[in-house]
A and B are shown apart, each in its own frame.
Chain A
Amino acid sequence: MTSWKDLHVGTEVPTRVVGPLTRTDFVRYQGASGDFNPIHHDEEFAQSAGYPSVFSVGMLQAGILAGFATDWLGPDNVRGFGVQFREQVWPGDTLTCTGKVVDKTEDNGERTVSLELVVTRDGGGTAIKGWATFAVV
């Protein structure tokens, strides 16, 4: 596990590439999360709403980004995680997760590291901007 002394402002999370994402990935996530909005698996419904096809669940790529961060600094250490959704993610998209340390604080013996996180689509568009905080020893 990466420790406090190895982490500095600017330290990068090892990049992760996932995909190409499939409709099966969307459905699997919908089953795991309980979000059954048909816009992510029902082609007719998605097209009736004006979309060219179904598209990914925002919380799927958010969850992939969260796992990317916790795989690096430890599932027990996470204290906060947030995302803002930008571009939609479509079947066939390959996603790249990147991140870096943007802050490092020590307060009453509690050591906290803040990360800035991004999910980029293969065309270069930003799917998600995120952040996370971790308690690190």
Chain B
Amino acid sequence: MVDKNALGATDEPFTMDIERGKIREFARATMSHSPDYLRGAMPPIPPTFLTSVSFWSPPGEGVFSKLKMDLRRLLHGGQEYRFFGAPPKAGTQLTVQTRVAEIYEKEGKRGGTMTFVVTVTEFKDERGKVVAEARSTAIETGKPATDRGSQ
């Protein structure tokens, strides 16, 4: 069950190094054909690369541990990234902070009551400028189920 007391909860900020090898690995795993990601010393990140922020968050802490979502009933509803200028490049160190922005319920067609959790993550560069923002919608379904038609 989602713990609704987590609404408004904020992670402690932590740092994330943007690394060339991880960009290459990510670009290949997502089947990009662009040499821009594979060559050069300072490639830009692919648009969804910041999802790998989980490698940098301190283990066992943060808003997701407070939310107590059940993995068997967890679906990913949607994901958005905004970049305020060109996407960050390899060699950049970002400061990352996530907050639980929304928690709401909807009646599902087959899975009972669905709980939606929207988290917003801000990424700042070394000078403190917000260079990217991620918005994620996670859904906990009412019961473990078969093919419900989401992720």
Chain A residues with CB under 8 Å of chain B are: 18, 25, 28-29, 31-35, 37-39, 48-52, 55, 57-60, 62-64, 66-67, 69-71, 74-88, 132
Contact = CB atoms under 8 A, between A and B. Distances in A.
Contacts of B65: none
Q: Which 5 A-B pairs have the closest CB atoms?
A: A58-B151, A63-B30, A67-B32, A82-B80, A32-B29
Contacts of A18: 31
Given A32-B29, A34-B51, A85-B151, 4 more contacts: A55-B151, A63-B29, A70-B47, A82-B81
A60 B47 CA distance: 12
28 contacts: A31-B25, A33-B29, A33-B51, A35-B51, A37-B74, A50-B145, A59-B48, A63-B30, A63-B48, A64-B31, A66-B47, A67-B30, A67-B31, A67-B34, A70-B32, A75-B34, A75-B43, A76-B36, A76-B87, A78-B47, A81-B47, A81-B48, A81-B80, A82-B80, A83-B80, A85-B75, A85-B151, A87-B149
Given A35-B54, A51-B146, A78-B47, A60 B36 contact: no
A66 B82 CA distance: 13
A37 B74 CA distance: 10
**Most-contacted residue by chain B among A25, A71, A87 (CB, 10 A):** A71
B46 interface: yes
A80 B47 CA distance: 8
Contact of B46 (A70, A80, A85): A70
Contact of A33 (B26, B37, B85): B26
B71 A37 contact: yes
B48 A80 contact: no
A60 B31 CA distance: 9
Nearest to A58: B151
Contacts, number: 139
Interface residues of B, number: 48
Nearest to B25: A32
Nearest to B77: A85
Contacts of B54: 33-35
Contacts of B149: 86-88
B8 interface: no
Contacts of B78: 82-85
Interface string B40-73: 0001101110011111000000000000000111
